[in-house]
Structure 1
C-alpha cells in the first residue's frame, strides 16, 4: 500500500436519517497504525459515522475509502473480509451463543483467515475471554459483554478496529482493563478509531483527535 494513502478516508460525508441530516460534510483521514479518537456529545453523529463506514447507512453525498478503494459499491458483509472489525455501542452479541461463538461469527464469512489463529490471538490479548469461552453471552455482565464485543472485532479486524463508545456504561475497573487491552494493541499494525463523549479514559492512548459536532467537523464550524 502507498504510504501516502490513508488507511481510512472520509470525504465530505453527508448522511440523512428519516430525511434529517445526521452527517453534514464530515471529513477525516486516518493513517495506518494510528490510534484515533472521535469525540462528540450524544447525538453529534459518532454512531452514524461508524455505521456509514460499515455500510449500514448509505451516504447521500461524499465517500468512504479504505486503502484507497471507495466502499460505496462494497456489500455490507464484505467489510469483514477487508480486515475491518466493528464494536457497536450496544455490543450486538447473540445472547444464546457462547463467548467463543460470538467471537467466531464474523470469521465464518472470512474464509481467508485461520479461525484458530485468530481465536488464539484474541485470547492472548484478552485472557479473561479464554476463561469465559463456554459461557453464554446472556450470562455476562455489561462490562464483560463489552470485552466480548471487543474480542469479536479484534478477531476479524486484522487492519482496522472501529470501537463505538467502548467505555460507555461500564464500571471503572473494567474501563481500566479495557484501556490496558487497547494500549497493548499499539505496535501490532492495527488502526483504531474510537468514538467517545470525552477523552477521560484514553488520553494516553490517542495519536490524533477529531471532534464532531452536529454531524460536521468542529473546526469547519
Structure 2
C-alpha cells in the first residue's frame, strides 16, 4: 500500500474537522475523493502533506509513518501537492514557478524532472516564458500540477483540479491525470464533481462532514 490513512482525527483550533478517516491509495492507482465544499477534503490533503497537525491516527506512506514527520521531509519522499488555489507566484514565469520546489529542495536532477513535466504536459513548455498571471485559471491549474511533478516520484495530491475550470480545460486536466497513471504515478484527486475524470479513476471515496462514507465504485 502506497498511502494508508487510518483512524485519522484532525482539529483546527477547538473544532473537529476529520473524524476517524480511513483511506488507501495503492501503487499506480488513481483515487477520487468526492464531497461537497466543507466536507474535509482539503483538510485531509493538507494533513497528509504535513501542513496541519494530526490529533489522532496514522498516515503511512510507502512504509513510513508521516504523522509526526515535518512537512519538508514528506516532499522529499516523493509526494507532490497541487492546492485548489494554485499558489503560483504571479511575478515569476511559468517555468520559474515549476522549478521553484526543486530549487527549494536543492534537487540534483532538476533538468531531468523538468523534461518529464514537459513530456507529460507539453503545453507548459510553450507557456514557459509567460508570467503565471497571464494564464487562465485552468492553465494555472496545469502549472500547479506541473510544479507538483517536480517533487513527486510516487504520489500526487490534486485538490479540486476541476473547480472553476472551463469544460475544455477540465477535459485536458483529466487527460493529464490519465497520463500520470501511464507514467506509474499514483494520485488522489478531490472534487465536488469528479465526472470529468470518471474514466481514469480506479476507486472513489465519498467524504461528508469529516468522515469517509462507504467507498464507492469509480464514477462511470
Is TM-score (shorter-chain normalized) higher than 0.5?
Answer: yes
Counterparts of 1:114-129 in structure 2 under 5 Å? 114-129=109-124
CA deviation string 1:127-167 (max 9, x = no partner) = 11101111111121111111100110122111000000000
SS in 2 for 1:157: coil
- TM (normalized to structure 1)? 0.93
Is structure 2 residue 72 aligned with structure 1 residue 77? yes
CA deviation string 1:60-114 (max 9, x = no partner) = 1111111121112321112221110100000011111111111111112434551
Q: Is the 8 A contact 1:81 1:109 kept in 2?
A: no
Is structure 2 residue 76 aligned with structure 1 residue 88? no
SS in 2 for 1:138: helix
Is structure 2 residue 25 aligned with structure 1 residue 30? yes
- TM (normalized to structure 2)? 0.94
CA deviation string 1:109-131 (max 9, x = no partner) = 43455100110110111111101
Q: Among residues 131, 148, 173, which one is paired with 1:136 in the alignment?
A: 131
Partner of 2:5 in structure 1?
Answer: 10
SS in 2 for 1:73: coil
Change (3 A) 1:132 1:83: same
Q: Among residues 43, 54, 60, which one is paired with 2:49 in the alignment?
A: 54
Task: Report the Cα distance in structure 2 between the residues aligned to 1:126 and 1:33, rounded to whole angstroms.
Answer: 19
Task: Report the Cα distance in structure 2 between the residues aligned to 1:205 and 1:95, rounded to whole angstroms.
Answer: 31
Runs of 4+ residues over 2 Å off in structure 1: 109-113
SS in 1 for 2:60: strand
Task: Report the Cα distance in structure 1 between the residues aligned to 2:189 and 2:146, rounded to whole angstroms.
Answer: 15
Query: When the two structures are aligned, how many residues end up with a matched partner?
Result: 215
Unaligned runs of 5+ in 2: 216-220
Unaligned runs of 5+ in 1: 1-5
Q: Is the 8 A contact 1:80 1:109 kept in 2?
A: no
Partner of 2:100 in structure 1?
Answer: 105
**Shift in Å, 1:196:** 0.9
